[in-house]
Structure 1
């Protein structure tokens, strides 16, 4: 029967051997665990998914070789013997004189004298008391000596963070790491819409999506204002082509209809894999979108022409007491008037002859104010005063010019009138103004004007009240004579 101290010592020896074996195994597995942990960290953060197949395979082989090489220290592992276990127990217990080893000692002479046997028994009882406090101790890691900068801690922290961020996606990450990417043939996706000009106030028209397709199935045809912008944007396309076919004339052959179609390759946007094209719609067309010969969509688009604006003089012109005149007017446009002006040009004399040699003065013109911004219809009265213009008192033609927001212009029918001039009460002033008008309209007949001015200066006492007026008129006549 085994006594209690011996049984206790055997239990401590088993624990000590297990602790020593675990410490050796942990130390030997450390390099392999670091390699495996690094590989797992790269998988969790998605690095393999970014690599081509060749690099992914090379990395897998490299990590495999490194893992096998890191397992090499395992070949030196052995199960600890009793001596190593006893040394661990005595060191961890902190006992002096090695009581565990001493307990296993035997009396040199089993048939010794009674005194020697008594001393031996006292020694055994003392050692048995020491055995009650034996400790095998918990396994102690030797990694701090092999990893003084604690790379293992950084790796564990990285694995914890990557695992938390990829919670629920570990299977997908592992699948990406061990599987090769499969290039599936995916149909190109596209977005298309038409943006009418801003001045029309029309909303954009979507051409892609379930709602747009349902609407197009009902209407079969789209109506958009002239100048609308068609935008097509494709993702995942290989060779997208946009074809715009104009409607052929009645009875036209298929060959003639094909000649009216215009095709263009849709280029990629700069710094992007997206194909995009923008084109203005100024005529009715059938638009087809295709990629690699497959038709993705077809739209029949009817363009609503933007009519030119119109304007008219809506009544008789009325003179004002100050020498000006009022012009009643009306104007309209399908999307809104941008501006309205009144322009004048010389109309000719009573015989219908135009004043082709008239002095080149800027013709009078006047901007007409609108009561509100960009009205579709407007009317009013414009008041003008050109009594100071050299054309005052001559026959002119008035024409209204109206502009819409697309830059188109419309003109009213011309109206002939005598441009109102200032009324002078003094005879000399009337005569000078009349000669100025003749000089402006017929500069080649300036000698007639000179003789008329000389006749005015023949009796200065009757016409001139100030000598300055006489001298000024005389100087003007002299310069005109020498011109």
Structure 2
């Protein structure tokens, strides 16, 4: 096609986009050709602004300057050679390329053939009109400023970074100092000058002050700041006069070129001579840290002490200690405490400090268990001391209180603990202790409910008397004290009667709290105590059933018996707590009375018509292992949260109301030690309320039966859980089948993940441990599913012809959630829900659906309130 020049007026509207595009092309050419020159200029300017020339020799500065000038000239010549000045046609081409269909080229072109044809000419005019409309929408084309191919090592970015650092930390005034290095200015450079800094103490976190930049005469600085001055030029032309250091003795000359001293008091700082300055320095004193006891120490049910304290400092607390000493003047000096106590050193404990955040002012709790200490439940004095980074110490006023420890309610256990205290008070009390213990145990049938406890007391008495005859040393006293403590625990925890008494006491305290309008926190704590007492009572019932000790006072099974599972009891207690939280105290009181009647009429029997098969037992064991692993993962996650949010107590955050969160709500994951499941599984039976009830077996992991709450560190509990999984793997059914082999492979992966989690926990790498625990839980779920399939396969092969009939019958007895409704009057189902779909994923899906619906404002208020209550609960 031929070009025509009468299309130029049509392009007049594109003058502005065309000019901007041409400027963009020029910017591309300048950047591509002169980026080495610009980089050299930025580097040199950055070096001058940072004052590098002041720290180098004149020869080095001149050499560097010559190299920089030569490099700049070479870069300038090479850039000038490669520079191509963009023309108007270049701009038109770039602008046309940015438009679809190249309309500008179409406007410039003319019709080459068919111009004599009217139809062809009309079509050409219509085409140009359409192209003119499209060209009218043109915008300036963006320049291509990418030069990575020309600068593969990104040297331009290095130069830009150096210039940015110089702009932040340097000064343009320092560039002029290079002129003083020229031969003509040697005399001027010899003139007097000075520079100085004030460096506040490091622990204050304040920046260094450059004295030349301070405009006013008033100056405030923290106590202990260091002043650094440098005098240049003729010695004596500049002198220093100051009254802030308080220096005495040998003081350097006022004209010394280098001056350093510490500000100790307010005063005047003056530089006399050419360009001298004067400052009135006001010292900000560094106050001593302060600490105080915020509230009297409290004790939990297990005896753990919690002492809240408050500390503050103007710059932050570095560390602190607590000293606990016996308040001998406040001790009731009677009976075993009448003699002089054996000397014992005071207790020193480090005060807990916030892991993150500001330490200028905070409140923390000193948590420690002194239940077995000789001063437990005796008057003591708490003396707290904190220290800041400057070494200043602050002491709290001595706080007198009773050292909290575990309390014993059983009279015989309390007597043993009192004698233990007397023994630790003074070993001279040994004869009296033996007499008292023999006196209180004179009629063992009226005092002891367990023959084991009586025999242990008799053995302890004989050993005490024998050791007293040959002389009691420190090892013997410690051994006897530990034996007496174990005996008291056995007497306190006791047997079924004691467990029932603790259960009644917990129910009565909760009932009184509801009647008296107690706070939500008190009710939550009492509800947690009721859960623990119920679990303890269930263990004692199961232990009695396992040993064949069904007493005559327990009702026998009748035709109107009703089966209940452990989950049914848990749901009843959850319902009671939900009613109390909603303020429906009357209904909660009625439900509590029904629970009390159920527990008192309960009976546990073993193996009555329908014991579990080996496969079902393995399923139950693995399900319990999965729950315990989930509990360990939850605890590790809460510990990880506390590292970044120390104010959130584990299990008491309102956003952590899971299985053991929310002020004691929910079911605790840590309620069982994994190493105790073997005894539980062997003693598992059925319990009755005038019938039968599912119970828990004996847990030989400890005499107190508290399970995992006393299981030690997370790493130790993870190891115990791994050992329990090894035991369960040896009892898996379905060997040789594809499903059974898949279950074993999944459990092997779970075991390896548990080993990795234990290693991470011992390294305090909580994040890695949580990941390993998640892998272990996922592998356990896969093992459960594969084991369920193996059991179903074995059942179909062992009883052919019955699967269809049983399936139809069970399908008719399903509840709306697809679970069996139970038979023979049972409440609920014993079906293991972990065999089918991943219930944890399904639970997450349901929770997401509830959240989605609660965010839809067009739903009825009644439904929105119901969804809100569901979210608050779960």
TM category, shorter: 0.3 to 0.5
Q: Which has the larger radius of gyration?
A: 1
Bigger fraction of residues in strand: 1
* TM-score (norm: length of structure 2): 0.28
Larger RCO of the pair (alpha carbons < 8 Å, separation 6+): 1
Bigger fraction of residues in helix: 2
* TM-score (norm: length of structure 1): 0.48
